[in-house]
Chains A and B, each alone.
Chain A
């Protein structure tokens, strides 16, 4: 149906456009912005009521004293800026989010390509298998991970001992603990990247690759000159989205390590929780969470500008 409409309309365009452009389009344009605003209204209401209003309320909250009976301005933020532990949290959050997102994007990109290489029926099976991590509710799958790796008698250590190696206290050594929270996050998030990239790859006309192949392009060159430019927008958006979500991640770290050892795996959300709910300083907890905002907002605006610009160029 879509194709029918498309074809017919497209063929008629050049001839009619000149004649009717002035009147019809002009009238359309006037009505257009009203309709557009109407169409955006539900989205606007949703965001204003359930995100923006609570957000400003949180800002207000972050400027109160621990007992929430005094307004103390930016004191909570000043305090955080001088706290050793908070510096560690910022460092670990960046390390965690950037590394995890990098590997999610990279592995997702590789998987999307190799998946694209294989044929229909096979692809369906592999796709299904590789999607599994993404569909298990993360709070629950992380519990499973914990049970699998934590402790000297965990399943992973059992296996190590079976092959004659010493058990490792995976979550007790700073480096390994950081490694595992990243691994679990990558495990959970990669399928999402894979599927987004695969979807975009599918919309790339096969002829482009064939033409390139005939011109003697190697696999890497094909990726460099065809896939990457075409995937640029979707990569930007998924990376940005994932960066934000990973920065704000709570479940995985809280369940796997709760910040241990010695706060070395603590990220924004878990630290905010520890300060806000754990030590009952809700305003300070809010301030910790709100610190994410300026850091990521800069990233976000930068990336989204690029996406918007490219989208316009495409048109």
Chain B
């Protein structure tokens, strides 16, 4: 935007940009988009088979209406499949490729210097539909600017998915805690980390230890991060100071010391497929995961699926935190067609479209715009009916979303996250039998390195 004022000759593209900045909504007139020609999108390849055709249909619909030639490439990512991050790195560095790229959790922070600001698009959506999830904001904002648009596609919570029958056998009715209808905070508060710990030995004894990992991939990192926040601990605070040696941290680590013996023996080598495997095989009483595991169980092991109930994570001394991993859509700075791209992205995140996409994904996607958490799909998915009702956060859950390593400044947090620093600490303490002091000293040194890096 600065460039356009500096340059003596106003090119047409600059004029378009200025126009885009000026108009809040619609961002760009259909006219300008149609003049522009073509767009290449790289979106996340949704694992729910039915979700991709809907996206293709919507994109084609928009392209036709606006006379833009849109190409949609779907890039998958997952265990052993790093297609999406590889492509991001390559396109960012080479300055060529798609116009729009999908970004997972931390990726916006990695590539923000290559992205066009999205303040106009996000601002417009917030004006229409109300606030975005704070975690999405934390992950997408750099120096006060939205560098990407949080999207519903692929965005997920990682709440509790528990086996109803196991909890019944321990005298607990999880459906009462979190009924498939508006509930109240007092029953929701019964699900605490103390309760989790209390039932853990019984689960292991029953041959169904919790499918909770302490490995180095995201599922493992997300839930332990939520535990730490619930104890009020953090590795690095928002100002960038190391907070490893706090009482809350020690308390939390001691909690893990007690919990780990009741986790599966291979917990420290879990990857993102391990917890699914534990649940689907019927040998895990509980996992913290989006409904993908339940969904596969519905396909392959219906008996297990019928016995699953999804609800937020336990409450700790300092509250209830649910891991949230939003996806983002960013527009590369090198894109020649930023205005059209922005218009399309904004169009795709209008409530109707989000709902259509959400339905197609069987409710897997959690829209970052909080007012969209009332879609019917979460009430109707089954079996059992209402199993996903408490998957999106409801007001009476009294829960906060969280991403591990927050609230540290992003460039430190992303390293804490990708190095699974907290999980390494737990492993050292609870499995390798190192002393609390050794572990905390190690963590301090390690994080100091991240800060200097």
The verdict on B446 contacting chain A, using a C-beta distance below 8 Å, is yes
Q: Mark A243-267, 1 if CB is under 8 A from B, else 0.
A: 0000000000011011111110000
The interface stretch among A165-173, A207-215, A223-231, A303-311 is A165-173
The verdict on A83 contacting chain B, using a C-beta distance below 8 Å, is yes
The verdict on B111 contacting chain A, using a C-beta distance below 8 Å, is yes
| Cα–Cα, bound, A279→B109 (Å) | 9
Task: List 27 A-B pairs, Cβ < 8 Å.
Answer: A69-B113, A79-B449, A82-B449, A84-B446, A143-B80, A150-B266, A151-B264, A153-B277, A168-B265, A169-B265, A169-B266, A172-B266, A174-B432, A254-B80, A258-B217, A258-B271, A260-B216, A261-B214, A262-B423, A274-B419, A275-B415, A276-B89, A279-B418, A280-B106, A280-B414, A281-B415, A284-B453
Q: Mark B216-234, 1 if CB is under 8 A from A, else 0.
A: 1100000000000000000
Q: Mark B244-287, 1 if CB is under 8 A from A, else 0.
A: 00000000000000000000111111110010011001010000
Q: Known contacts being A84-B442, A280-B107, is A151 close to B449, with CB within 8 Å?
A: no
Which residue on chain A has the smallest CB distance to residue B452?
A: A79
The verdict on A104 contacting chain B, using a C-beta distance below 8 Å, is no
The 8 Å CB contact of A262, one of B109, B428, B445, is B428
CB of A172 within 8 A of CB of B452, answer no
Q: Known contacts being A79-B449, A83-B449, is A255 close to B80, with CB within 8 Å?
A: yes
Q: Mark B269-311, 1 if CB is under 8 A from A, else 0.
A: 1110010011001010000000000000000000000000000
B-side binding surface: helix, strand, loop or mixed? helix
The verdict on A277 contacting chain B, using a C-beta distance below 8 Å, is yes
| Cα–Cα, bound, A262→B109 (Å) | 25
What's the minimum C-beta distance from A188 to chain B, rounded to whole angstroms? 16
Neighbouring B residues of A123 by C-beta, 8 Å: none
* Chain A residues near B (Cβ < 8 Å): 61, 66-69, 79, 82-85, 139, 142-143, 146, 150-153, 167-172, 174, 177, 254-255, 257-263, 273-282, 284
| Cα–Cα, bound, A281→B85 (Å) | 12
CB of A262 within 8 A of CB of B86, answer no
The verdict on B93 contacting chain A, using a C-beta distance below 8 Å, is yes
**How many residues on the B side are at the interface (Cβ–Cβ under 8 A)?**
48
What's the minimum C-beta distance from B235 to chain A, rounded to whole angstroms? 14
The verdict on B431 contacting chain A, using a C-beta distance below 8 Å, is yes
| Cα–Cα, bound, A82→B271 (Å) | 29
Neighbouring A residues of B281 by C-beta, 8 Å: 153
The verdict on B350 contacting chain A, using a C-beta distance below 8 Å, is no
What's the minimum C-beta distance from A225 to chain B, rounded to whole angstroms? 47
A-side binding surface: helix, strand, loop or mixed? loop
Neighbouring B residues of A82 by C-beta, 8 Å: 449
The verdict on B215 contacting chain A, using a C-beta distance below 8 Å, is yes
Neighbouring B residues of A281 by C-beta, 8 Å: 110, 415, 453
| Cα–Cα, bound, A82→B450 (Å) | 12
CB of A85 within 8 A of CB of B419, answer yes
| Cα–Cα, bound, A265→B111 (Å) | 28
Inter-chain pairs besides A262-B427, A281-B415, 18 sampled, C-beta below 8 Å = A66-B453, A68-B93, A79-B452, A84-B442, A85-B449, A151-B264, A151-B266, A153-B281, A177-B269, A260-B420, A261-B268, A261-B427, A261-B431, A262-B424, A263-B419, A277-B82, A282-B89, A282-B93
The verdict on B437 contacting chain A, using a C-beta distance below 8 Å, is no
| Cα–Cα, bound, A255→B89 (Å) | 20
The 8 Å CB contact of A171, one of B266, B452, B453, is B266
CB of B89 within 8 A of CB of A277, answer yes
What's the minimum C-beta distance from B289 to chain A, rounded to whole angstroms? 15
Neighbouring A residues of B420 by C-beta, 8 Å: 260
| Cα–Cα, bound, A257→B266 (Å) | 11
